Amino acid sequence: MIRHQPRLRALLSAGITLLLIMGLIASQWLLGDTPQQMQFDARLAPPSLAHWFGTDALGRELWARTLAGLSISFWVGCLAALLSTLIALSLAALAALSRRLDALVSLLIDTLLSVPHLILLMLIAFALGGGTQAVIIAVAATHWPSLARVLRAELLHLRQAPYVRISRALGKSRWFVLHSHLLPHLLPHCLIGALLLFPHAILHEAALTFLGFGLSPSQPAVGVLLAEAMRYLTGGYWWLGVFPGLGLLIMVLCFARLGSNLRRAL
């Protein structure tokens, strides 16, 4: 029973995360234009049976805007984590081909890790003009070094395996060894790495948007909701910041726990 506990936890985490994903996808179809509908007679209404999460300064339902914001963060985080994983895998594969490429990749990894993360994110997003594409590119371009270092170390270890040496002794090319023997062993690492990158991606997307370097203020993103809530928190309108922040926290914890449990199970 003890042996199977990590697998059971991974399955439970996967089920909860899958329900969360299905709920976010379904909300995009069911909400329609509800997040943008204004009710000026219900401005800044507190949470109640009529308004589950309360309303904002324009009378828009906060529960609908929170779900819409989490959906945006989910898709942005997915694309950014996927691109970042592909970058890490590509550079790790290049590092396995020759010593010169390995030294170049190591230098690039150390250089990016030495730069303050949030500052680099803001610079890239600002240089690209902001918006959804700029946020995805900025997050993807700054989150790959840690995963690339892990994949590179794993490749360096696998290169000394007996079956790899035998394949080289038989005259197989480096590309063949990399494609047939090394890369298949990295797929579990890439899966876990992408899942662990996802929470960081959506948190940094929300941070960039909150600071004004990310998504457009016209979109009901979580960062936009939190930035708008800062104007009213001192007036006692606590629900404007609590519910969007709590929704983001729950989504981050679900994916972080899923990644941790899968890593233990594998």
Which has the minimum average pLDDT: 96-105, 167-176, 206-215? 167-176
- For the purposes of burial, counting CB atoms within 10 Å of the CB of 103, is it exposed (0-12), middle (13-18) or buried (19 or more)? exposed
Burial 113-144 (b: 16+ CB within 10 A, else e): eeeeeeeebbebbeebebebebbbbbbbbbbb
User: Would you state the pLDDT for residue 1?
Assistant: 44
CA quadruple 212, 136, 191, 156: dihedral sign: negative
Evaluate whether residue 54 is within a structural domain.
no
Q: For 230-263, how does the pLDDT look when each residue is reduced to its tens digit (9 = 90+)?
A: 888 888 888 888 899 998 998 888 888 888 888 7
User: Would you state the pLDDT for residue 2?
Assistant: 47
Supply the range of the domain harboring residue 146: 5-32+59-265
Whole-angstrom distance, CA of residue 59 vs CA of residue 57:
6
Evaluate whether residue 37 is within a structural domain.
no
Of 211, 241, 13, nearest to 118 by C-alpha is 211
* Mean predicted confidence (pLDDT) in 157-184: 75
Question: Is the pLDDT assigned to residue 156 strictly greater than 50?
Answer: yes
Evaluate whether residue 173 is within a structural domain.
yes
Evaluate whether residue 38 is within a structural domain.
no
| pLDDT band at residue 119 under the 50/70/90 scheme | confident
Question: Is the pLDDT assigned to residue 25 strictly greater than 60?
Answer: yes
3-state class of 238 per DSSP? coil
Question: Is the pLDDT assigned to residue 171 strictly greater than 90?
Answer: no
Evaluate whether residue 100 is within a structural domain.
yes
Distances (CA, A) of 133 to 78, 219, 223: 13, 14, 16
Structure tokens at 225: 């909701």
User: Would you state the pLDDT for residue 3?
Assistant: 53
| pLDDT band at residue 58 under the 50/70/90 scheme | confident
Please report, rounded to a whole number, the percentage of residues in the chain having pLDDT higher than 70.
98
Q: What is the CATH number of the domain that holds 88?
A: 1.10.3720.10
User: Would you state the pLDDT for residue 83?
Assistant: 93
Q: What is the total residue count of the chain?
A: 266
Evaluate whether residue 44 is within a structural domain.
no
Count of domains for the chain: 1
Evaluate whether residue 64 is within a structural domain.
yes
71/184: higher pLDDT: 71
Evaluate whether residue 109 is within a structural domain.
yes
Burial 11-26 (b: 16+ CB within 10 A, else e): eebbeebeebbeebee
| pLDDT band at residue 87 under the 50/70/90 scheme | very high
Write the DSSP string, 91-140.
HHHHHTT-HHHHHHHHHHHHHHHHS-HHHHHHHHHHHTTSSHHHHHHHHH
Question: Is the pLDDT assigned to residue 141 strictly greater than 80?
Answer: yes
